Amino acid sequence: MFLLRSEQKRRAFGTPEESIGSIKQPKMVKAAQTYLQDKGIESSDWRIDVVAIEVNSRDEVRRIDSIQNAVVG
C-alpha cells in the first residue's frame, strides 16, 4: 500500500481530493510501479490510499478524510 497525503489551505484550488487529478494520478502510479520494480516485487498487488486534509488560515485542521483504494494496481 502506498499513501498519498493531500493538504489544502484554500478552497480556491478545490478540495484536497480534487487536487489529485488526471495529471497527478499517472505520476503516482508510475512512482508505485517503479518502486515495486526496484524491489523486485512488481507482480505484487498494490493500491494507493489518499488522506485528504483541509486546514484553515491558522493551520487548524478543519477536516480529515481517507479514501481507500483510490488507485488499485
44 is written with which cell numbers?
505484487
What's the mean pLDDT in 20-46? 92
User: At which residue does the C-alpha cell 499517472 appear?
Assistant: 26
52: three-class secondary structure by DSSP: strand
Task: Compute the distance between CA of residue 62 and CA of residue 45 in angstroms, rounded to an integer.
Answer: 33
Is the model's pLDDT at 44 over the cut of 80? yes
Domain that holds residue 34: 2-72
Q: What is the pTM of this model?
A: 0.79
Rounded Cα–Cα distance for residues 25 and 72 (Å): 11
Structural domains in the chain (count):
1
Q: Which of 9-18, 31-40, 54-63 has the lowest mean pLDDT?
A: 9-18
